[in-house]
Amino acid sequence: NSEDVRCKCICPPYKDHSGHIYNKNVSQKDCDCLHVVEPMPVPGPDVEAYCLRCECKYEERSSVTIKVSSVILFA
């Protein structure tokens, strides 16, 4: 299920741009700043420096397991 995977990038403040968290459903190989951060908040020359500051993590979860656990816990 495509809703069960995502890439989460946490980007701290950079120059006059505030910090931001970006989430996007992409494959694990595309889990990086260049594929997830849209729109890119900095101009072309600053993209590399901005992306080096971002921490991106690929996350997987099982929504079926979460739903079953919730039913058991709240039954």
Q: Where are the domains of the chain?
A: 3-71
CB 3 within 8 A of CB 60: no
At 20, which helix (H) or strand (E)?
strand 20-24
Q: Residue 37's closest CA among 13, 5, 58, 9?
A: 9
How far apart CA 61 and CA 24 sit, in angstroms, is 14
Six token digits for residue 26? 């992409």
pLDDT digits (tens, 9 = 90+) for 8-37: 999 999 999 999 999 999 999 999 999 999
**Residue 55 in this model has a pLDDT that exceeds 90:** yes
pLDDT for residue 69: 62
pLDDT for residue 64: 66
Measured from the Cβ of residue 8, the count of other Cβ atoms closer than 10 Å reads 15
